[in-house]
Amino acid sequence: MPSFDPTTSAKLLEGLTALGVAVAKAILNCRADHSVRIKADGSPVTPADETAEAIIREGLARLAPGLAVVSEEQAERTPPAAGVDYFLVDPLDGTREFIAGRDEYTVNIALIADRTPALGVIVAPALGLIWRGIVGHGAERLKFAAGQMSLPEPIHTRAPPAGALVVMASRSHLDASTQRYIDRLPHARLIACGSSIKFCRLAEGLADHYPRLGPTHDWDVAAGHAILVAAGGSVVGRNGEALAYGTPELRIPEFLAWGSPTATQPAKL
């Protein structure tokens, strides 16, 4: 992480955690407002998304002035130049789950250093859970309620299972290519889930694999990527290559997230 040594990173992580909890409270206060607007790309946005965006932008400007922010709700999204650290933000990941009244939505904040997720915080407002991690320095889970946070609990991915893989898949975005891939996994037990919580289940050792063989955006992946790698897992492309963040389109074509980097992977996808 070019701009942050471990001590500075730990302080930033604490600040981002507090910011995430403040955003979670604001989102919960927006649940009674059922208005929905459809964006140009066909995705929904709610007052909760926009409120969360405003709070995060103000908070990041205070915590790390001078660092660029790239967020889902920005009208203009220009990737910073190579070698420049920046934040990647999804103010409300799982908007469709939020609209449907489910609990599977999150606030995602990641720090990108040298085009790679280096730090991530994911807050699940309705579940009262926080996952966070710094690559190379471990990952943690915390609980929060009524303005109080628990002490952090270290989390780690689990070893490859002897039996069936527990496979996480998107509840709202399970495409045909990913479904075919999952169907080829021997004895896989599928769990459908919304938002970046899927990465967190791998990071805390409750699941083994999360494939996504359809395109998604950088901000949907980065925070979970950082936390999972910090917990001992891996997030790679179809052929095991590193993911390319900061492309002009800000899109990740596909990825395979593994709880254990040594898990058996299909020879051909």
pTM for the whole structure? 0.93
CB 21 within 8 A of CB 102: no
Dig out the tokens for 68 from the structure: 């660029």
What is the pLDDT at residue 146?
81
Nearest to 202 by CA among 266, 157, 135: 157
**What is the Cα Rg of the chain in Å?**
17
Structure tokens at 227: 């936390």
Q: Residue 196: which domain range?
A: 166-258
* Sign of the C-alpha dihedral computed for residues 61, 248, 107 and 31 taken in this order: positive
Q: Mean of the per-residue pLDDT values for the chain? A: 90
Are 172 and 239 contained in the same domain?
yes
Q: Which of 22-31, 65-74, 114-123 has the weakest average pLDDT?
A: 65-74
133-137 long-range Cβ contacts below 8 angstroms, 24+ apart: 133/203, 133/226, 133/227, 133/228, 133/229, 133/230, 133/231, 134/6, 134/9, 134/10, 134/13, 134/226, 134/230, 135/226, 135/229, 135/230, 136/230, 137/6, 137/9, 137/10, 137/230
- Among residues 155, 186, 216, which one ends one of the domains? 155
Rounded to whole angstroms, the Cα distance separating 245 from 143 reads 30
Whether the pLDDT of residue 268 is over 80: the answer is no
pLDDT digits over 142-168, tens only? 999 987 899 999 999 999 887 789 999
Does residue 21 lie in a domain region?
yes
Q: Report yes or no: 228 and 234 within 8 Å, Cβ to Cβ.
A: yes
| Percentage, residues of the chain above pLDDT 70 | 94
With 80 as the cut, is the pLDDT of residue 266 above it? no
The token pair that represents 36 in the structure block:
């929905």
225 and 95 within one domain: no
Amino acid symbol at 170: S
- In terms of Cβ atoms closer than 10 Å to its own Cβ (0-12, 13-18, 19+), residue 228 is buried
- Looking at the fold, whether 220 and 138 belong to one and the same domain comes out as no
Between residues 6 and 38, which one has the greater pLDDT? 38
pLDDT in tens, 203-255: 999 999 999 999 999 999 999 999 999 999 999 999 999 999 999 999 999 99
Q: Do 143 and 173 form a contact (C-beta atoms < 8 A)?
A: no
Query: 213: Cβ–Cβ under 8 A, 6 or more apart, which residues?
Result: 175, 177, 178, 181, 238, 254, 269
Final residue in a domain of this structure, among 135, 155, 175: 155
In a domain, 196, yes or no: yes
CATH code (residue 170): 3.40.190.80
State percent of the chain over pLDDT 90. Answer: 71
In the predicted model, is pLDDT for residue 264 greater than 80? no
Q: Are residues 144 and 184 in the same domain?
A: no
Which residue's entry shows tokens 């990952």? 139
Q: What is the pLDDT of residue 4?
A: 52
